[in-house]
Amino acid sequence: MPPPQWLTDYWKSEPNWVKRFVRNSFELNMILCGEKPYKDTIWKKSAIKEFLAYMSTIKQQFKKKSKLYRGSQVMSPTMHPACLEMENCQFMSTSKSLAIANEFAGKKGFVHIFTCEKGVEFYDLEELYEDDKVKREKEVILYPGCHLKLDKKSGNKLYWMVSK
């Protein structure tokens, strides 16, 4: 099945790779994690290559320990089952706001609290969005290849140490 027309139209009208990613991150992240979500995807090999090259030019690194949050309906913060230690294979959406993570988790979900070590690669969407909902979400993308180690669990909160 081909991508929905609205997505194809959006890609034609929006040249910014990060904005494209935000609109269709799940599909790309599945591909990056070795899954094949759809037979006919908008994320062709050439698009993935171009996106990854662009992302390598804009990545930032934490200069000191920093906290980020992620709300999810499952125990794992990544696209793979939860483990005590794991590596993320995808670009992982997080927030600088605990309140936003709680919204995404809902009453039955999980709040992941990440303590990111110096040197962890990320991209803060703050500079990209003005009054968009992503600004309200205070979204920060962690790059693939981060090492996550579960430090503790308290109720629905999971505390992760994140290193490069």
Q: Are strands 121-124 and 147-154 parallel, antiparallel or unpaired?
A: unpaired
DSSP type of residue 112:
E
Residue whose entry in the numeric block shows the structure tokens 């993308």: 141
Confidence of residue 82 (pLDDT cuts 50, 70, 90): confident
Residues of the chain with CATH 3.90.176.10: 60-164
Which of the two residues, 60 and 135, has the higher pLDDT score?
Answer: 60
> For residue 132, what pLDDT is reported?
62
Query: What is the DSSP code string of 77-102?
Result: SSSS---SEEE--S-EEEES-HHHHH
- The CATH architecture to which 60-164 belongs is Alpha-Beta Complex (3.90)
Q: What is the mean pLDDT of the chain?
A: 91
Task: Say if CB 105 and CB 111 are below 8 A apart.
Answer: yes
> For residue 6, what pLDDT is reported?
85
The kind and range of the H/E element at 31 are helix 25-32
> For residue 61, what pLDDT is reported?
97
> For residue 35, what pLDDT is reported?
85
How many whole angstroms separate alpha carbon 146 and alpha carbon 91?
A: 10
Does 134 score more than 60 pLDDT?
no
> For residue 2, what pLDDT is reported?
77
